Structure 1
């Protein structure tokens, strides 16, 4: 009996020590960075070196002592492309299969889900340099950053921007501290005569490098950007594809908060909805309307929620939508529709997309981040809220009547680099 008790105590002690050791390893785990890996080899072909680098980098995430927030089952290379032999740049397109449904894991590794089998795809450009024992990965960046860094038309002083980071026929970019627009997918650019920092202004940061989504319109017959100048909310606009520009003041008050600012143009109206004040988590908003895009007047606007707004958009005369920050799928979506120009609002709800992830069902998409109209349909990009950690994915919903929305697809909705 005494031997059995001693054996039980010994096994318990070993179990506790093992558990404590694993917990310690998990808590002290620090992933080796991509640029901290040296490939020890006599190989000189960069594509092969990139393959060896990949095996070495991903092996650390398969170890039994790797915490679930990093652990993967498998990893594979989909494609390796030599970009610059002389300077050692290689692009690696790869995919990984998570070990578990731990949501932090997707945040740590990034990537976009390829299909229902759970694999996530990712891309990286690496710069390898020769060392005494092989090659060292010295730099890592996204492919678009590599394009910006190495395109001679971008790097040569005095050249106009080229089509990098341009996703649509009508788009913008920021280069050399200037704002440019294009109407032909980047073949030609026109400078917007405005200090770009006034356009990218955000009261929460000292500077911005992207124009706030929803604060501008770029179309062949009308291009306009909202901007902030000494407490005033202004609009710079052009009706002739940038050949001439005019400015007008929407609202002037040196105490306005002006974090959120959204511009919409319908058949007969121009709408500007913007934040005027902030206190703790509360945020108040105002709505201005114009028939000519020059002279704006205040609207009897009834804010459905005085909280942080994520998007506002008017799809037709008097018909608009507002969305607010949301971090809980159990609550309503904090998404509203008006049919009387902002005087009254009706909450809009729809079934949230459930994702099957490693045997579990999760609902990551809970906050409307973008609203737009295309081909007569209303489109929503629904993100994960500020606490989301399901990679960089968002959900794309569409509606034919502007009221009932159905899920279309998952998308990677990271903003394209604008300069």
Structure 2
């Protein structure tokens, strides 16, 4: 019996000694404590996953060509990028108002001391921000509302702008370049005064303007097949099921050997929760359009 008691006492003593040795080496409990985690410093806000990006931090306009390792200033005031009829988020550039690629960075903006002296300009760089050139697109142009710039290749690009809005009417203009944006020429006017919803070109001759953003009941799409010399309204064949549902045409795009276009439900659409668009196809380069299928709004 004495041997058993002695053995138990030895085990208790050994356990206490081991606890004294190993307990200080155990990690401290974090229950009820905030973890001490430090976020890595963010040099500039990024808005895309591409190596080329921009920043508007601290009211400065900067650009990077190496995923944010180095930033270069753009010689333009941040406010100029938002001039005109715009009340959206000023922490990100207006959608479609700029082009960012490895070989060409371009920003469309409006500048002037008064509406009568307002000019539409493009500032762009071909050497990764080392030097910039300012190009005047239009002088004495009213404050712009809709704005869009894009290039289909290293030569051809287009600019679509609108301004001077009065209720549901406004002026719109289309400009084309054949020399990488160094010079621009205005196309003939479409003579449509409804508000511009979208537009774009699919090649150097074929372009589109979509009109109607205030409670439209059907899409209105105009097409040119001669580089803007003439514009004509396209025929969109909407099935009875989707009439007054798909009402605003978006810019067409190439899909194989035909053109495709999405038509959305407008700001108050509630068909299928407002989460679908109609996809339409054209086999005659945009003159007529036939319904294809429903697609999710985020596709």
TM bucket (normalised to shorter chain) is: 0.5 to 0.7
- Give runs of aligned pairs for residues 164-179 of structure 1, distance below 5 A: 165-168=47-50, 170-179=52-61
Aligned residues: 257
Which residue is equivalent to 2:15? none
- Give runs of aligned pairs for residues 180-259 of structure 1, distance below 5 A: 180-183=62-65, 190-205=72-87, 208-230=90-112, 231-253=118-140, 256-259=142-145
> How much has 1:338 moved relative to structure 2?
1.2
Tell me, what secondary structure is at the counterpart of 1:199?
helix
Distance 2:255 2:100 in 1: 14
- Give runs of aligned pairs for residues 19-418 of structure 1, distance below 5 A: 86=34, 152-154=40-42, 159-161=43-45, 163=46, 165-168=47-50, 170-183=52-65, 190-205=72-87, 208-230=90-112, 231-253=118-140, 256-267=142-153, 268-292=155-179, 293-303=181-191, 305-326=192-213, 330-331=217-218, 333-342=219-228, 343-351=230-238, 364-370=245-251, 380-388=261-269, 393=275, 395=277, 397=279, 402-403=285-286, 404=289, 406-407=292-293, 409-412=295-298
Contact 2:111 2:121 in 1 (8 A): yes
Change (3 A) 1:167 1:309: farther
Change (3 A) 1:152 1:215: same
Distance 2:67 2:145 in 1: 29
Deviation sequence 1:223-272 (CA, Å, 0-9, x none): 2111011111000111123232211111111x513111222334543322
Task: Give TM-score scaled by structure 1 length.
Answer: 0.50
Tell me, what secondary structure is at the counterpart of 2:145?
coil
Contact 2:63 2:74 in 1 (8 A): yes
Task: Give TM-score scaled by structure 2 length.
Answer: 0.67
> How much has 1:207 moved relative to structure 2?
7.5
> How much has 1:310 moved relative to structure 2?
1.5
> How much has 1:321 moved relative to structure 2?
1.1
Give unpaired runs (5+ residues) of structure 1.
1-44, 47-84, 88-149, 355-360, 414-419
Give unpaired runs (5+ residues) of structure 2.
1-30, 113-117
> How much has 1:327 moved relative to structure 2?
5.9
> How much has 1:334 moved relative to structure 2?
1.2
Which residue is equivalent to 1:113? none
Tell me, what secondary structure is at the counterpart of 2:41?
helix
Tell me, what secondary structure is at the counterpart of 1:260?
strand
> How much has 1:151 moved relative to structure 2?
5.4
Change (3 A) 1:301 1:329: closer
Which residue is equivalent to 1:38? none
Change (3 A) 1:194 1:290: same
Change (3 A) 1:348 1:264: farther
